[in-house]
Chain A
Amino acid sequence: MIEADELTKTYGRRRAVDRLTFHIPPGRVTGFLGPNGAGKSSTIRLVLGLDSPTHGRVLVNGRPYRALDRPLRRVGALLDANAVHGGRRARDHLRWLAETNDIPRARVDEVLGLTGLTEVGHRRVGGFSLGMKQRLGIAAALIGDPEILIFDEPVNGLDPDGVHWIRGLIRSLAAEGRTVLVSSHLMSEMQLTADHLLILARGRLLSDAAMADLVRSGGGDVLVRTAGDSPLAALLTAGGATVTPESGRGLVVTGLDPTRIAEVAAAHGIALVELTPRAASLEEVFRRITDPELQYRADREGTR
């Protein structure tokens, strides 16, 4: 469980994190979504006690991070996969981490195995690909078998196999009842992994909602195709829908649900060859939430 209350961080004159209040419960994947510079990484540094908040606070299991005894046994974090000394062997990197928190040395081999790095554990990290460094960063996050996991942009630089592996890992960690926070600027990736989304822009929390609700709120539309030329478009418009023609006798309908569209078609003897309800993509929802007008207003409030 991670709780932030009015969390604020100012670097110089720039307010990177602006009065964030949220709580991240265990057992689900919470996504931290926002464009680059939205304040995701700054917030994570505040959670980990690396930076001190200018105002407000953030608690991990009810305590400030810096008050945790052996924090790696409670919280594991992947911040920047490249933040390792290139001259050090992978096993030694994990070994010193384990030693800081009195974690048994056998755990080093376990996490090397979990992340598929057993064969390269003796190699110096400087020769690793970004994907291998990403795996090493995840091994480091798992070293204390923590109940809270934080992954900052975990799929960056991974090949498709790696992306698939990490998605599965994140889902399974949450399924085990752990608290999982994943940040990303990739909306498609979030849609596949997160159950709940915190959407950030310019340091402010714009949305705190379940993924399903968020996608549903986007509305979506219905794609309809008829067998031949038909007056369906006019009929649906008369029925209150907005209709946009698409190639191949297709109609994109908003404002009427599929049942109603089917009824209208049946009543006029029009044969349908396709009737597909389409959910709004997260990308559309995201763009709407973070639209420039909203940001402009937010800015004005922020400087008032």
Chain B
Amino acid sequence: MTGLIAAEWTKLRSVRSTPLVLAVAAVSTIVIAVVQARSAASAWDSWGPRARAEFDPVFSTFSGFQLAQLAFGLLGVLAVTAEYGTGTVRATFAAAPRRGRVLAAKLLVVGTLTLVAGEVLAFAAFFAGQMALAGKHLDTGLGDPNVLRAVLGQGFYVATVAVLGAAIGTVLRHTAGATALTTGLLFLAPTVLKAFSANGSTALTHWAPGVAAEGLTWTRFHDPEWPTAGFALLVCLTYLAVTVAAAAWCLTRRDV
């Protein structure tokens, strides 16, 4: 198993898409955190009481992660579908015929890399954003209520999306299809679930991954449409369990 993990790590780091995707994620999260913090600080005096009440020093500066989650999802999708697209997958399964183990090694490597990268970016975006807010004394610290959970939760969420992408990639085996489904799940699920919901009910919409992200990353202001952090974590873990089980089921039963 250590050999398979080493091999998956070599595969992931030896293609250009991996550093490229992480670089895009880094630029979008940190730059957007600074830009949003600055514009909030400069507009603060003109805001009414409602806008001020809804301002969340962490959540409001983490919008860049909505873009970055796409990059993370793509990283996960490509880690699998690039093998199918190029045909490398036949070499993979000839070298390691126990496919469940290969999947486990791949998801472990994708999950670990994106969790580390996600947490690094979450903390970097947090500190960059708070520095820009400090001029107006709008900033918050890691010791304040919910803040550490929000920062850790944001890193965890993008890693979840990456593993989700890899699992969907394993089921669909095509880059375009898997990217479309992953993106759709992230951006269209809230709209679709809302259409099926009774007026004002959040029972369904709380199951959209994007809404779970909001539940994980709020600190001072909590919109009633968002789930609690605990429920959001449950949603993430459920998505992981279901898609990974589907991936394992498909992989071990299909011809390569």
Contact = CB atoms under 8 A, between A and B. Distances in A.
B88 A66 contact: no
Nearest to B253: A52
A48 interface: yes
Contacts, number: 87
B93 to A, nearest CB: 6
A96 B11 contact: yes
B86 A84 contact: yes
Interface of A: 45, 48-52, 65-66, 68, 71-72, 75, 77, 79-80, 82-89, 92-93, 95-97, 99-102, 140
A101 B101 CA distance: 13
Nearest to B98: A66
Contact of B97 (A71, A88, A95, A102): A71
Given A50-B255, A85-B88, A87-B16, A99 B97 contact: no
Contacts of B10: 92, 95-96, 99
A65 B95 contact: no
A77 B178 CA distance: 30
Interface in B1-38: 3-4, 6-8, 10-11, 14-17
A87 B7 contact: no
Contact of A96 (B14, B82, B90, B93): B14
A92 B98 CA distance: 22
B198 interface: no
Nearest to B2: A102
A100 B14 contact: no
Chain B contact patch, size range: 20 to 34
A100 B97 contact: no
Interface of B: 3-4, 6-8, 10-11, 14-17, 82-83, 86-88, 90-98, 255-256
A107 B8 CA distance: 19
- List of 3 A-B pairs having minimum Cβ-Cβ separation, nearest first: A83-B87, A92-B14, A99-B7
Centre residue among A77, A80, A99 by max chain B CB count within 10 A: A99
Nearest to A92: B14
Contacts of A84: 86-88, 91
Nearest to A79: B90
B4 A100 contact: yes
Contact of B7 (A52, A96, A140): A96
A81 to B, nearest CB: 10
6 contacts: A82-B87, A85-B82, A85-B86, A87-B16, A95-B14, A100-B4
A111 to B, nearest CB: 14
Contact of B86 (A83, A89, A101): A83
